[in-house]
Amino acid sequence: MNFRDKRVWITGASSGIGRALAKSLAAQGANLLLSSRSEAGLEEVAGSVRGTGIEARVAPIDFSLGQDLTPQLEAAINQFQVVDILIYAAGISSRATVEAAHSDVYRAVMEVNYFGLIAAVKAVLPQMTSRQSGAIVAISSVAGKVGSKNRSAYSGSKFAVCGFMDCLRAEVHHQGVRCLTVCPGYVRTDIARNALAADGKPRGQTTSEIDGGMEADVCAQRIIRAIAARKDEVVIAGGIGRWAPLLKRICPTTLNRIVAGRQW
Ligand SMILES: NC(=O)c1ccc[n+]([C@@H]2O[C@H](COP(=O)([O-])OP(=O)(O)OC[C@H]3O[C@@H](n4cnc5c(N)ncnc54)[C@H](OP(=O)(O)O)[C@@H]3O)[C@@H](O)[C@H]2O)c1
């Protein structure tokens, strides 16, 4: 797939993987509609790619509100008319044991990672199926394939993303719409710093795994290659993250023991 003149809506575009995707796709000639909460963050990204002959618009949206976002999403995509590719990269993490985590943490994480994805998909799907073309990309995680300690809210939401995308892919397979689920391992972004603690407040500090992770630019390049190759699902990780989803399928008990033995 050639991205020149494609119209790509990226959520989570103000930071990390979403921002890196925006910059890489703009460099390949794609027009961008950028969403997240921070208008200033989105304008900074849009400003950095404007002037290269592409169109870059911003549409601030908060996916955490738990309300019907239909009017807001329709207004956002109306300024762009056609959306060829939706990349849902908005996301929030959490770190707390099941015993300690407040139930609101589970709802807050599901709202952004899962219900926000559904709302965005429903906003673009009718135009994609009627045109018989389009691509929907959801950023899940290795944590959407393998659960581990302290990640129950996050992992649950990412498993839900994988399940939703499998169902969607089956439904639209004959309607010209491609669905890609991306499962990254550790990527060096603000994800751990913004992760919710047991009380629902941001932790405010990163982790050594995230700091030692893949660069967001590298992850973005691999996501773009997977879109171009029309893949259904891709794991983008090094080390144990690369093999854990496969081990989970072929020898789940062994993998479960390895995960239980880790400190994190
Ligand atoms: N980094 C990793 O190791 C890793 C690994 C696997 C999967 N992922 C997934 O990759 C995706 C991108 O994360 P990242 O690593 O790039 O983290 P990040 O740097 O924290 O970026 C998260 C993005 O989501 C947006 N966002 C957060 N809450 C939002 C809300 N309520 N409404 C709208 N937008 C919201 C943020 O923008 P605003 O603050 O402006 O709203 C930001 O643009 C997430 O789905 C994450 O779960 C990351």
Phi, psi of 134 (to 5 degrees): 145, 170
Q: Which DSSP helix (H) or strand (E) runs through 246?
A: helix 239-250
Residue ID of nearest Cα to ligand 1 atom 42? 12
Whether residue 52 is contained in a domain is answered as: yes
Dihedral sign computed on CA atoms, order 15, 18, 124, 25: positive
Q: Answer whether 144 contacts ligand 1 (Cβ < 6 A).
A: no
Whether residue 214 is contained in a domain is answered as: yes
Residue (of 49, 34, 144, 50) closest to 90 by Cα position: 34
Tokens of 84: 């060829």
Whether residue 2 is contained in a domain is answered as: no
**What domain range is 216 assigned to?**
7-261
- Per-residue pLDDT, 262: 84
Q: Answer whether 15 contacts ligand 1 (Cβ < 6 A).
A: yes
**Averaged pLDDT, 100-122:** 98
Whether residue 211 is contained in a domain is answered as: yes
Catalytic residues: 154
Q: Answer whether 124 contacts ligand 1 (Cβ < 6 A).
A: no
pLDDT tens digits, one per residue of 21-80? 999 999 999 999 999 999 999 999 999 999 888 999 999 999 999 889 999 999 999 988
What global pTM score does this model have? 0.98
**Averaged pLDDT, 241-249:** 94
Q: Please choose from 92, 107, 110, 233 the residue to mutate so as to test ligand 1's pocket, defined by most ligand atoms within 8 A of CB.
A: 92
- Per-residue pLDDT, 80: 86
Whether residue 169 is contained in a domain is answered as: yes
- Per-residue pLDDT, 191: 98
pLDDT mean across residues, the chain? 96
How many domains are contained in the chain? Answer: 1
List the CATH number of the domain containing 187: 3.40.50.720
Q: Please choose from 118, 191, 242 the residue to mutate so as to test ligand 1's pocket, defined by most ligand atoms within 8 A of CB.
A: 191
Convert 73-105 to b/e letters by CB count within 10 Å (16 or more is b). Answer: beebbeebeebbbbbbbbbbbbbbeeeebeeeb
Q: Answer whether 14 contacts ligand 1 (Cβ < 6 A).
A: yes
Whether residue 220 is contained in a domain is answered as: yes
Q: Please choose from 37, 65, 222 the residue to mutate so as to test ligand 1's pocket, defined by most ligand atoms within 8 A of CB.
A: 37
Q: Contact, 100 vs 198, CB < 8 A?
A: yes
Whether residue 218 is contained in a domain is answered as: yes
Q: Answer whether 186 contacts ligand 1 (Cβ < 6 A).
A: yes
- Per-residue pLDDT, 240: 87
pLDDT tens digits, one per residue of 160-216? 999 999 999 999 999 999 999 999 999 999 999 999 999 999 999 999 999 999 999
Whether residue 1 is contained in a domain is answered as: no
Q: Three-state SS for 94?
A: strand
